Amino acid sequence: MIMLASLIPYFAFIYIIYYLFRKSRREGKIKISGSNINCCVGKQYPGGPLRPFSPVFYEDAKLKTAPWAAPRVSDDILETLPKNPTVEENGQTTGVHGRGCLGKYGPNYAADPVISRINPDTGEIEFALIQRDETPATWAIPGGMVDPGEKSSITAKREFNEEAGGNLDNTSIIPVELYSGYVDDWRNTDHAWMHTTVFHWHDANCSSLGKMKLKSDGVETKKAEWIPYNDIKSGKYPMFADHARYIKMAVNNIQLF
């Protein structure tokens, strides 16, 4: 008994350390997932060890007035809405409940146009990529969100024309659908996630699309350039979300030509 009693200070000490550790994590979590998140400038939810122990509810303030956002649902309905399929599959929360920065509960649809060419001077495969103002640390396929009632193949063309200054409207090259499904995107929450459809146009002779001069729109995009695949592969151009995966799929597709 006396032995046990003498251990109490040790247990108390361990408990205090544990309590302080949990407290600091909780505070970090609340600070990051509260008003400090500014989705508009591309800040990310905490990843890895900074993910909260238990999910926090977060919906960006801009969703209250954004014309593209769905109305907010009440908390009791929230739990009955479709759940992020990876959360269901892995039994592991994203750390965020609600929509986070996304406009809709459930899937948020995007479309991505992958445009490639073989550079006639170097013989290398090159891709039309952009650097966004919001996410300057990464390069991206010039895709975007599907407007209500729009077909994803139309979105892909529209976004390319807008963001990379090209013209996909009159090309005779027929695109191949490379992928349609879930995106590993930092904005995903337990109740809202990104879903994209990826289309691939390849100009093997660099005779039409490959001749396009790319141009950023100067608002959403900072740069629009033809980037050699080898430089993407080597990591010189870190890619946004799952985009490196789609580029790889396009390379496999080119090899079938």
Contact set with ligand BGC (CB under 6 A): 110, 112, 140-141, 143-145, 183, 185, 194, 196, 241
Contact 55, 95 (CB under 8 A): yes
Q: For residue 85, give every residue at least 6 positions away whose Cβ sits within 8 Å of its Cβ, in sequence order, or none.
A: 182, 193
Instruction: Give the nearer residue to ligand BGC in terms of CB position, either 29 or 146.
Output: 146
User: Where does the chain have alpha helices with state H?
Assistant: 2-33, 75-78, 85-90, 152-164, 229-233, 243-254
Least distance between ligand BGC and beta carbon 99 (Å): 14
Spatial separation of the C-alpha atoms in residues 187 and 69, rounded to whole Å: 14
Least distance between ligand BGC and beta carbon 113 (Å): 9
Least distance between ligand BGC and beta carbon 120 (Å): 28
Q: Which residue is nearest to ligand BGC (CB)?
A: 143
Q: For residue 41, give every residue at least 6 positions away whose Cβ sits within 8 Å of its Cβ, in sequence order, or none.
A: 134
Least distance between ligand BGC and beta carbon 179 (Å): 10
Rg of the chain, C-alpha, whole Å:
23
Spatial separation of the C-alpha atoms in residues 190 and 52, rounded to whole Å: 13
Instruction: Give the nearer residue to ligand BGC in terms of CB position, either 178 or 212.
Output: 178
Instruction: Give the nearer residue to ligand BGC in terms of CB position, either 160 or 226.
Output: 160
Least distance between ligand BGC and beta carbon 185 (Å): 4
Instruction: Give the nearer residue to ligand BGC in terms of CB position, either 194 or 250.
Output: 194
Instruction: Give the nearer residue to ligand BGC in terms of CB position, either 115 or 241.
Output: 241
